Amino acid sequence: MSDIDTYRATAAAWLRSVAPTFGRDARKGLSEAEDLALGRRYQRAKFDAGYAGINWPTEYGGQGLGHLEKVTFDAEEMKHGFPNFYFGISLGMPVPVLMQFGSDKEFVKERVLKALRGEEIWCQLFSEPSGGSDLAGLRTKAEPDGNGWKINGQKVWTSWAHYSDYGVIIVRTDPTVPKHKGLTYFWVDMKAPGVTVRPIRLAGGDSHVNEVFFDDVKIGDDHRMSPVGGGFAVAIATLMIERYVATDSAGFGPHLDLFVELAKNVRLNSRPAIEDGRIRQQIARNHAMRAGLDSINVRARLMMQAGMMPGPEGSLNKLVAVRSRQKLSELALDLQGSDAFPFDQHASPKEDWASSWINAPTGRIAGGSDETLLNTIAEKVLGLPQDHRPDKGIAFNQIPA
Amino acid sequence: MTILYDEGQQAIATESRRVLEARISKDALLPLLETVGDYHRPFWNIAKEQGWTALALPEPHGGLGLGLIELGLIAHQAGRSISGAPFLTSSFGAAKAIELFGSEAQKARWLPGLSSGEAIGAVAFAAGADPLPVRPDMTITGDRLDGTVRGVAAGIAADVAVVFANGPGMPVLALVDLQGAERIAVPSFDNSRLIADLRFSGVAADTLAVGSTARDAALRILALQSVVTAHEQTGGAEVLMEIARDYALTRKAFGQPIGAFQSVKHRIAELYGLVELARANCIHAAAREDAADFITAAAAARLSATEAYDTAARDCIQIHGGIGVTWEIGLHLHMRRARSLAIEQGSSLFWEDVLVDQLAGEAA
């Protein structure tokens, strides 16, 4: 066995051993508060077992291993339905950025350790009501205030802000220069006076995202994580950190096997639906697409293992997988017909077609909309021109609203 | 498990691309559309010179003993340049049937010629929409073959064919020397595929397999060929995506390159997705040649490659506007080839059923 196979086997065995305590079945019927508490205990167990911060430096409490080990562990972890999503953003982006750009090393070390143990959660305050895809168009501002800064404005779609202890935030510090150039990156204490978090209920009924309001929130200059006016570069660095994350060719919806089972069990025109050409076509097409993504992902892992940089085709995953999950979920409900109506809004989108269907639009928008991803492929991979941008080179405060 | 190409394999890709790009042009291919019975001889000469004909055939009979991965790389490049003859795939299919199911005498008779490229092979199973008919139109009695098989790629030029015929109460996979067959050339939309109907009246044929074994054997031959074709389709789709990209960068309308309009750039980005999915499935399928799930992997490769090439042909022409539909620009060469490759070895309708049978556990 290669080193990575050994690593995988060991990790899989550990995950299996804790699945009864923290996995899918242990979570059934828990309130969100109870589930979060279980999640914190699971995160602590991961830390103690050496599976937290797998590819982070050991000086910060990480394991000092590579992306490959991280992705390998994540792929195994995904199978058990652990309550780990509360920490996904926190450990995925803000905390790694803090390690990279935080100025007070002792403070950073303490925060990183607490985040790895699940004791503290960080959120990422990027999107605003006036722009999500157009990040640099943000309006929340920070003005000099004594030796520090004073923040006013509003963020939105902030995942897990209601459970967060800290957040990283990008704000406008100079409206008189073109939009990308007037931004600065800070961290904030989410419990500070003037910070108000309001959960937003999403179409599926849950509310893990929030509006966050800043009213004269005062912070010291030691919260600054970029040069003044240099915040956009750090924001981009944030988005690059987790380029090779564990992916799911099912688009975080049900596995195709579940659709095949459904088609075998349901009757259409007095025959099993699996015999219907329309259903067969969708099964075949979805399998071919998912097999392609799986193969792309395996190849990316092999490249990492060989010390090479995976190709840009990894960027297809979310685009292709989530949008086809949406259509397949619609078809699964059609197949069930009048039996499709019973609905449990807390059911897992990985196991329940209605839950997968109603939450699919979120997946196509969050973390880069389909359109943004297509632009990225067109521009960064194929070298096609940028869209026409009338606000290019114009001072932010001169852009027509 | 998929693979990364090793250095030797990467060299095959680079070298075949270099040779084909230097020596094949659309100007030589366009006139072939208007001739029935001819193919691009320089292409086949290159294939023979370079040893591509021998690549995936066994060493004891003049082959190089490599496999689908290497032949797939050649087919990918041939797809980029629009292959001038169907023989890489057709002869490979016939040769694999002989290698896997033939006698030593049959191997000795046919494999050296198929390896050198001096002999041409064909696979002649189809009856209309059914590439592997439950009741073939042809019958085999003793060692005599009767009946007609329609629309055989390479049929005009082939020396030997593998056929699927009705035997005594069960299907038979057989090998037939085409010297005794009548060939009726079929004028087609893609004439260098050398399509012919083959008519047999008491022609001597050697049985390769009988009964359900014959059907499994025939499906395996189609799947092996399909992986080669899928690489060729992916190559065609890839080059069309590049042509569309290059045109969108240079052609201007309303004061900017048309590639700056999202309706155009997103269309090309979608092609990128289709090409990469097809490529990933091709590499995987080629690496699974001897695995239990080969048919599933081949079907997935075939479906995604057909979709990629068809879509690329449609969209590349659309992005070109008026110039795209002219004879001279030759994009229709790809459009025609996309269709003939989509049909040879069975269309998507066939492979969808094969795949679902595998996934639902209903495979014979």
Which residue of B272, B280, B355 is in closest CB contact with A296? B280
Question: Which of B210, B234, B250 is the C-terminal boundary of a domain?
Answer: B210
Q: Is B221 found in the same domain as B201?
A: no
Contact B280 A293 (CB under 8 A): yes
Residue A176 in 3-state DSSP?
Answer: coil
Q: What is the mean pLDDT of chain B?
A: 96
What residues contact residue A220 under an 8 Å CB cut-off, 6+ apart? Answer: A147, A148, A149
Q: Is residue B163, in this structure, part of any structural domain at all?
A: yes
Q: Residue A348: its pLDDT value, please?
A: 86
**Longest C-alpha distance within chain A, in Å?**
77
Q: Is residue B319, in this structure, part of any structural domain at all?
A: yes
pLDDT tens column, A86-139: 999 999 889 999 998 998 899 999 999 999 999 999 999 999 998 778 889 999
pLDDT tens column, B109-142: 999 999 999 999 999 999 888 999 988 889 999 9
What residues contact residue A322 under an 8 Å CB cut-off, 6+ apart? Answer: A251, A252, A253, A360, A363, A364
pLDDT tens column, B181-198: 999 999 999 999 999 999
- Supply the DSSP symbol for A153: E
Q: How far is CA B216 from the centre of its chain?
A: 19
Q: Residue A345: its pLDDT value, please?
A: 84
Round to whole Å and give the CA distance between B1 and B354.
21
Q: Is residue B2, in this structure, part of any structural domain at all?
A: no
**pLDDT over 50 (residue A200):** yes
Q: Is B57 found in the same domain as B189?
A: no
pLDDT tens column, A348-379: 898 999 999 999 999 999 888 999 999 999 99
Q: Residue A131: its pLDDT value, please?
A: 78
Q: What is the mean pLDDT of chain A?
A: 92
Q: Is B288 found in the same domain as B196?
A: no
Contact A288 B260 (CB under 8 A): no
Round to whole Å and give the CA distance between B117 and A272.
49
The answer to ipTM > 0.90 is yes
Find the CATH number of the domain harbouring B275.
1.20.140.10
Contact A384 B3 (CB under 8 A): no
Contact A313 B265 (CB under 8 A): no
Average pLDDT of the residues in B45-53: 97
Average pLDDT of the residues in B151-170: 96
Helix axes B262-287, B68-81, angle to 10 degrees: 150
Which of residues A78 and A14 earns the better pLDDT score? A14
Domain count, chain B: 3
Interface check for A285 against chain B (CB to CB < 8 A): the answer is yes
**pLDDT over 60 (residue A344):** yes
Chain A CB contacts of B251 under 8 Å are none
Tokens 């890839």: give the residue: B238
Q: Is residue B229, in this structure, part of any structural domain at all?
A: yes
Interface check for B360 against chain A (CB to CB < 8 A): the answer is yes
pLDDT tens column, B199-257: 999 999 999 999 999 999 999 999 999 999 999 999 999 999 999 999 999 999 999 99
Q: Is B223 found in the same domain as B298?
A: yes
Q: Is residue B1, in this structure, part of any structural domain at all?
A: no
What are the phi and psi torsion angles at A198 (to 5°)?
A: -125, 115
Q: Residue A215: its pLDDT value, please?
A: 98
| Distances in whole angstroms, Cα of residue B67 to Cα of each of B45, B132, B276 | 21, 24, 22
Find the CATH number of the domain harbouring B130.
2.40.110.10
Find the CATH number of the domain harbouring B89.
1.10.540.10
Q: Is B268 found in the same domain as B159?
A: no
pLDDT tier at B364 (50, 70, 90 boundaries)?
very low
Contact B300 A287 (CB under 8 A): yes
Q: Is B292 found in the same domain as B222?
A: yes
Closest-CA residue in chain B for A273?
B360
The residue of A5, A287, A290 whose CB has the most chain B CBs within 10 angstroms, and thus the best one to mutate to test that interface, is A287
Residue whose C-alpha is closest to residue B68's, from B244, B198, B228:
B228
Q: Is B165 found in the same domain as B274?
A: no
Question: Which of B194, B210, B226 is the C-terminal boundary of a domain?
Answer: B210
Question: Which of B171, B187, B210 is the C-terminal boundary of a domain?
Answer: B210
Average pLDDT of the residues in A48-68: 92
Interface check for A281 against chain B (CB to CB < 8 A): the answer is yes
pLDDT tier at A240 (50, 70, 90 boundaries)?
low
User: Do residues A147 and A139 make contact, with C-beta atoms less than 8 angstroms apart?
Assistant: no
User: Do residues B299 and A284 make contact, with C-beta atoms less than 8 angstroms apart?
Assistant: yes
Q: Is B125 found in the same domain as B238?
A: no
Average pLDDT of the residues in A146-158: 96
Q: Is B355 found in the same domain as B266?
A: yes
Round to whole Å and give the CA distance between A21 and A30.
13
Q: Is B332 found in the same domain as B301?
A: yes
Q: Residue A133: its pLDDT value, please?
A: 81
Q: Is B272 found in the same domain as B154?
A: no
Q: Is B309 found in the same domain as B229?
A: yes
Helices H, strands E: what count in chain B? 11, 9
Chain A CB contacts of B270 under 8 Å are 374
Residue whose C-alpha is closest to residue A2's, from A56, A72, A74, A55:
A72
Q: Is residue B172, in this structure, part of any structural domain at all?
A: yes
What residues contact residue A301 under an 8 Å CB cut-off, 6+ apart? Answer: A68, A71, A72
Interface check for A250 against chain B (CB to CB < 8 A): the answer is no
CA distance B4 to chain A (A): 7
The residue of B239, B310, B351, B352 whose CB has the most chain A CBs within 10 angstroms, and thus the best one to mutate to test that interface, is B352
**Domain carrying residue B196:** 121-210
What residues contact residue B229 under an 8 Å CB cut-off, 6+ apart? Answer: B75, B89, B302, B305, B341, B344, B345
